Amino acid sequence: MKILAANRLIDGIAVWLGPNGNWVEDIRDADVVRDATGEEQLLATARDAFGNNLIVDPELIDVDLIDGEVIPRRLRERIRAAGPSIHPNLGKQAARNAVVHLT
């Protein structure tokens, strides 16, 4: 399973591609795809968004769905989805008012 991660051009904030081609700030809203066709659709949308100067550094990342929640396989992407592990009050986790489990 994969989702597509990127950073928004104007402010650099980490975003993910959600359903209907929207860029979402919460990984829980990301569009999860399960096959090559889905991946190609994500990449095609990302290429358009990159071309339209909305996002930079688009990248497919591996995720698992655990208890219905999108959990990236790599720690790097889990930290990106949460915010710095040392600052629970900063990044996405602050808005969620919860620390994302990193391990």
Contact set with another protein (CB under 8 A): 7, 9-14, 50, 52-53, 56-57, 73-76, 79-80, 83-87, 90-91
Q: What is the DSSP letter of 33?
A: B
For the bound state, the minimum distance from the C-beta of residue 83 to another protein, rounded and expressed in Å, comes to 6
For the bound state, the minimum distance from the C-beta of residue 98 to another protein, rounded and expressed in Å, comes to 17
Quick one: which of 79, 12, 22, 72 has its CA closest to 46? 22
Sequence-distant (6+) residues with CB within 8 A of 13 are 7, 25
For the bound state, the minimum distance from the C-beta of residue 26 to another protein, rounded and expressed in Å, comes to 13
